[in-house]
Copies of this chain bind each other. A is one copy, B any other.
Amino acid sequence: MALGEFELIDRFFRDRGATRTDVVLGIGDDGALLRPPSGADLVAVSDTLVEGVHFPAGSPAESIGHRSLAVNLSDIAAMGATPRWALLSLTLPRVEEAWLAGFARGFGALARAHGVALVGGDTTRGPMTIGVQVLGAVPAGDGLRRSGGRPGDALFVTGTPGDAAAGLALIMAADGSAAGLRSDAPADALEALRRRFLFPTPRIAEGESLRGLASACIDISDGLVGDLGKLAAASACAAVLDVDALPRSAALAAVTPEAALRSMLDGGDDYELLLAVPPAQVARVASMPGLTRIGELRDASTAARVTLRRRAADGTLSETPATGAGFDHFAG
């Protein structure tokens, strides 16, 4: 690299994150020294973004910096934990100072917003690959898992799933001509969806407030139906989604009215939380802002892991497995 590894770290990343008193020794030695809180479990997460796989080549550096941390913070949120420290492994084909400055700005702003100190990592020359690890803490025994759901638990979701996938489709279709996307929609709706992909919001506060209330939790990175399937499987349950209850953003409805449901059910990159809540806690969770009740867990003896349920015009409920056929059946 044109700049030495250590100059690069110093120049762009030192003091970029939050300042924390539990960092005994940060960037610059063989390792970081961190003082864990007593009575807490640590939560360790790791996610890697590869150019052209997890984000389009040429994405704004600030977005890449933000997303590389956000996807990890979302995993921390899904465990009900509070983030503390991050490590960054940055592999880059070349040193471009403007790119690094943008990356550091995006990463640093999100880190400071959540009180996360950047305590170490490494830089390497190679194909663009951004590995981030975050360590958080949760009161011992209180970590949320995917596996605690039981039949009869209600399902809730944060935010409005589907927005990020539509935003990515808008970004990929540079001329706005992608099938099902209305490029003549209001500019603020288009921009809102793009930003939902470029700058996702990790639901840290929501995850913290769900400790002791949710029986199971997962973050939606691969699509609502797919990740619900994982939560249900880990909980040895089946799940039913009330399609009419899914929270649809006004922007999504404006930009892609025909494909909104498909995006909500199957679109990735949302980084919302999906959770199961026992009956005794439902009223309390339902009163929290930003959460929508969207279905329930039930006995795993039903044929499909995830079932879509909809009320017809005549008031009758119909159910279809959330597989290819069932999915298409409800599309639109």
Contact = CB atoms under 8 A, between A and B. Distances in A.
Interface of A: 24-25, 28-36, 38, 40-48, 50, 52-54, 75-76, 78-79, 81, 85, 87-89, 91, 119-122, 124-127, 129, 131, 133, 135-136, 138, 140-141, 143, 145-147, 217-219, 234
Contacts of A47: 89, 122
Contacts of A141: 24
Name the prevailing secondary structure of the A interface residues.
Answer: strand
Contacts of A147: 29
B48 A124 contact: yes
Nearest to A221: B30
Contacts of A129: 48, 91, 126-127, 129, 131
- Which one of A30, A75, A131 has the highest number of Cβ atoms from chain B below 10 Å of its Cβ? A30
A34 B30 contact: no
A28 B133 CA distance: 16
11 contacts: A30-B217, A31-B45, A31-B79, A33-B41, A33-B79, A34-B42, A34-B43, A42-B135, A46-B131, A48-B129, A126-B129
A36 B87 CA distance: 18
- Those 7 A-B pairs whose CB atoms lie nearest each other, nearest first: A50-B126, A30-B78, A31-B45, A127-B127, A131-B131, A36-B36, A30-B75
A88 B81 CA distance: 21
A294 to B, nearest CB: 19
Number of copies: 2
A33 B43 contact: yes
A146 B41 contact: no
Contacts of A53: 124-126
A134 to B, nearest CB: 8
Contacts of A140: 35
B29 A33 contact: no
Given A131-B89, A133-B87, A121 B46 contact: yes
Given A50-B124, A125-B53, A129-B126, A44 B31 contact: yes
Nearest to A31: B45
A331 to B, nearest CB: 25
Contact of A45 (B35, B54, B78, B120): B120
Nearest to A217: B30
A243 B322 CA distance: 71
Contact of A48 (B91, B143, B218): B91
A25 B80 CA distance: 14
Contact of A35 (B30, B41, B78): B41
Contacts of A75: 30-31
Contacts of A34: 41-44
